Structure 1
Amino acid sequence: MALELVNDREIWDAFVDASPYGLLFHKWDYITVTARHTGYRLLPYGIYRGDEPVCLAPLYFRSTHGVKTLFSPPPMQAVIPYQGLIPSGEFDTLKQSKREGVMDLIASDLSAEIDAISPHYLSLTFVPGLVDVRQFLWRGYTAKVRYTYTIDLVQPVEAIWGGFHSKLRSKIWKAEEAGMDLVRSRDISALYTSIAERFSQPDMNIPMISRRYFEDLFRAYPDHLAAYYLYDREGALAGTVATQEYKRFLFWMGAPRIESAHAGNEYLQWLLIQRAKAEGYPVFENIGANTPDLNFFKSRFCSGLEIYMEVCSRDMVGALAEWAYSSIINKPWLKRKVVPFIE
């Protein structure tokens, strides 16, 4: 195996398109826009067997006051919940022994590069489905388990509806009778205002992201990113969300509950589940099942629970930096002063 930087957009995106693990988060414009707005140096690695790429790994490096950090993705939580490795399209067709051999070579080459960079703090979060991280554990990394909610859209719509909590179905019926209107848009103005308010809340352990970042992403992927707005009969906004529509349908960036006489968020999600199924997506993902306050709402849709893995390492300097970020810097009153990718 050999590891080298990939600087060809077409080669990169073609590999992502062909991989069952490749998502919009991995596409070339997505990773370059993210690096530009977060202030990280993008390291788009390819791991090769001869001339054939077997895995891609978009990593982000930054050195701040002597503290070196290496991430994939950068610490953006729900904005990019996972990136990490992108195995080739044939990876899942290999026998188990060969898959383990490929993962060993990937982990070996990547670990050697990480050692050469010698970050004080490292975090790689892999996509759902890529859960065998033993090769990293055997090399001294720590693993953390993350969760996300999914709905199997292959099943009949009646089965999906029947799996909802009875109180949820009642709320959706009432909202449907109220005659609400769903609009798909590329205008993120109202959506961003709501998201910015959400990320500034004390319980959101996440830096706020600039509006320009979202605008650049929507400009790069007009067919795969959308803002949805749900209006009542009087024209008042009852719910809004951003989605990713590429391979799987991602209920991506949701806004806080909007005060309304109707269950706007519940009805909005049901409408999008139906839309995703009608358009042939195999999976609807309501990203994230790691926040207790939100899990009760999400679980009422009878979503399946998928895991995804984070591998990380840190030395004493990295541990101190992590503590400082989570305990001091990421407090709402400091976010706009110290985090470089805040508007």
Structure 2
Amino acid sequence: MTASTIDDKDTWDTFIDESPSGLLFHKWDYLHLTAKHTESTLLPYAVYKGNEPICAFPLFCKRVHGVSTVFSPPPLTIIPHLGCVMSKNFEGLKQSKKESLLGLVAEDIRNEIRDLSPNYLSITFVPEFNDIRHYLWDRCDAKIRYTYTINLEQPLEVIWNNLHYKLRNKLKKEAGSGLRLEKSDDVSTLHRLVSERYRDPSLDIPPIKRGYLEDLVRAYPDRIGVYYLYDTEDEVAGVVATQEYKRFLLWMGTPRLESAHAGNEYLQWLLIRHAKAQGYRTFENMGANNRDLIFFKSRFNPDLTMYFQVEKKDTLGAFSEWAYLSFVKKLMTAAGRI
């Protein structure tokens, strides 16, 4: 087994496209735009068995004020899952073969990370990747994260009947109120509203930078959508951004807007219907780790799905994490970078 970086977009994207667990976040242009806007160095590793790639593993490294960091994904990106992507044939293997390959992947990547000598390492895996034992044995700390998913292979009637009854009543009312849904590539209103929300001092990170968001929408116009819900007077009642690649991911949304309508609820229901009509099997709704959001999101009766984050840090890395959480948001807001 050997690990090496890939410098060919087609080779990388073909592997991500063919793997069931590859997400839009893993795609070549997405990774390079992320590196650009986080001022990080992208290391698109692939682990090979012979000449066959069995794993793609993007890492980002950055050194700031003497602190060396390795992330997958880096902060300030609103990327919920990254880490490794196993090959298209991996899930069909016997357990003994899976464990053998995972051990070899972990060893190769550990050797690469060791050469980078980070003070702070953080990797957040995709929900389908549950075997993190090799990282625990390597004395990484593990955190359990959550996301909400809805199985769109169910009949729409079943999904509807599983909604909280109060939510169904709201949706029935809004269905006759003249609200209309429009898809756009204009991020200005979305970004302004999200930025205003993140000025709340209780939130510990700033939102995605506008230039980064605009670059992503330009790079993936068919995969990233901005959906506006308008009332009969053309006022915005709700707005969200989605990623539509293998799964329909409700990626970014705004807090409830000043409106007579249940805009966020109706917008999400319309997108669930839209995603099912487009043939997506899974609707993912980020936000399950936020205590302030779970009451709203849980009324759609989603499944609570786990994923894992592993971290390893020395004393300098631990201090840098504290400093980041304490000061970065204030500095970026004051500088107008959001």
Give the TM bin, normalised by the shorter chain: over 0.9
Deviations for 1:14-51, whole angstroms, at most 9, x for unmatched residues? 00000011000000000000100111111111111111
Q: CA deviation at 1:171?
A: 1.1
Deviating more after overlay: 187-196 vs 199-208: 199-208
Partner of 1:334: 331
Provide the secondary structure at the position in 1 that maps to 2:138. coil
Please say if 1:302 is aligned against 2:301.
yes
Partner of 1:152: 151
- The separation in 1 between residues aligned to 2:176 and 2:314, in whole angstroms, is 57
Partner of 2:63: 63
Partner of 2:91: 92
Q: State how 1:96-107 maps to structure 2 within 5 Å.
A: 96-107=95-106
Contiguous gaps of at least 5 residues in structure 1: none
Q: CA deviation at 1:251?
A: 0.6
8 Å CA contact retained: 2:82, 2:125: yes
8 Å CA contact retained: 1:329, 1:338: no
Partner of 2:16: 16
Which amino acid in the other structure matches residue 328 of structure 2?
Answer: N
Q: CA deviation at 1:297?
A: 0.5
Q: CA deviation at 1:161?
A: 0.6
Which amino acid in the other structure matches residue 47 of structure 2?
Answer: I
- The separation in 1 between residues aligned to 2:164 and 2:246, in whole angstroms, is 27
- The separation in 2 between residues aligned to 1:62 and 1:242, in whole angstroms, is 28
Q: CA deviation at 1:199?
A: 2.5
8 Å CA contact retained: 1:208, 1:335: no
Which amino acid in the other structure matches residue 288 of structure 2?
Answer: A
Which amino acid in the other structure matches residue 166 of structure 1?
Answer: Y
Partner of 2:112: 113
Which amino acid in the other structure matches residue 299 of structure 2?
Answer: R
Deviations for 1:253-309, whole angstroms, at most 9, x for unmatched residues? 111111110100000000000000011000000013101110110001000011111
Which amino acid in the other structure matches residue 96 of structure 1?
Answer: Q
8 Å CA contact retained: 1:150, 1:284: yes
Q: CA deviation at 1:200?
A: 2.5
8 Å CA contact retained: 2:42, 2:59: yes
- The separation in 2 between residues aligned to 1:279 and 1:258, in whole angstroms, is 28
8 Å CA contact retained: 1:71, 1:123: yes
Q: CA deviation at 1:179?
A: 1.2
- The separation in 2 between residues aligned to 1:252 and 1:237, in whole angstroms, is 19
Percent identity, aligned pairs only, is 54
Provide the secondary structure at the position in 2 that maps to 1:330. helix
Which amino acid in the other structure matches residue 27 of structure 2?
Answer: K
Which amino acid in the other structure matches residue 17 of structure 1?
Answer: D
Q: State how 1:41-80 maps to structure 2 within 5 Å.
A: 41-76=41-76, 79-80=78-79
Which amino acid in the other structure matches residue 31 of structure 1?
Answer: L
Deviations for 1:29-75, whole angstroms, at most 9, x for unmatched residues? 00000100111111111111111111011111000111001000001
8 Å CA contact retained: 2:241, 2:251: yes
Q: CA deviation at 1:142?
A: 1.4
Please say if 1:193 is aligned against 2:192.
yes
Partner of 1:232: 231
- The separation in 2 between residues aligned to 1:185 and 1:139, in whole angstroms, is 46
- The separation in 2 between residues aligned to 1:86 and 1:30, in whole angstroms, is 15
Which amino acid in the other structure matches residue 18 of structure 1?
Answer: E
8 Å CA contact retained: 1:82, 1:125: yes
8 Å CA contact retained: 1:165, 1:300: yes
Deviations for 1:210-237, whole angstroms, at most 9, x for unmatched residues? 2111111111111101100000111110
Q: CA deviation at 1:311?
A: 1.1
User: How many residue pairs end up in the alignment?
Assistant: 338
- The separation in 1 between residues aligned to 2:335 and 2:7, in whole angstroms, is 31
Which amino acid in the other structure matches residue 142 of structure 2?
Answer: A
- The separation in 2 between residues aligned to 1:76 and 1:102, in whole angstroms, is 32
Query: Structure 2 vs 1, CA of residues 46 and 338 (structure 1 numbering), >3 Å: closer, same or farther?
Result: farther
TM-score by length of 1: 0.96
- The separation in 2 between residues aligned to 1:98 and 1:281, in whole angstroms, is 30
Q: CA deviation at 1:76?
A: 3.0
Partner of 1:247: 246
- The separation in 2 between residues aligned to 1:231 and 1:21, in whole angstroms, is 35
8 Å CA contact retained: 1:200, 1:208: no
Provide the secondary structure at the position in 2 that maps to 1:147. strand
Which amino acid in the other structure matches residue 11 of structure 2?
Answer: I
Q: CA deviation at 1:337?
A: 5.0
Q: CA deviation at 1:191?
A: 1.1
Q: CA deviation at 1:335?
A: 2.5
Q: CA deviation at 1:201?
A: 2.1
8 Å CA contact retained: 2:195, 2:206: no
8 Å CA contact retained: 1:174, 1:262: no
- The separation in 1 between residues aligned to 2:50 and 2:204, in whole angstroms, is 42
Partner of 2:321: 322
Q: CA deviation at 1:338?
A: 7.3
TM-score by length of 2: 0.97
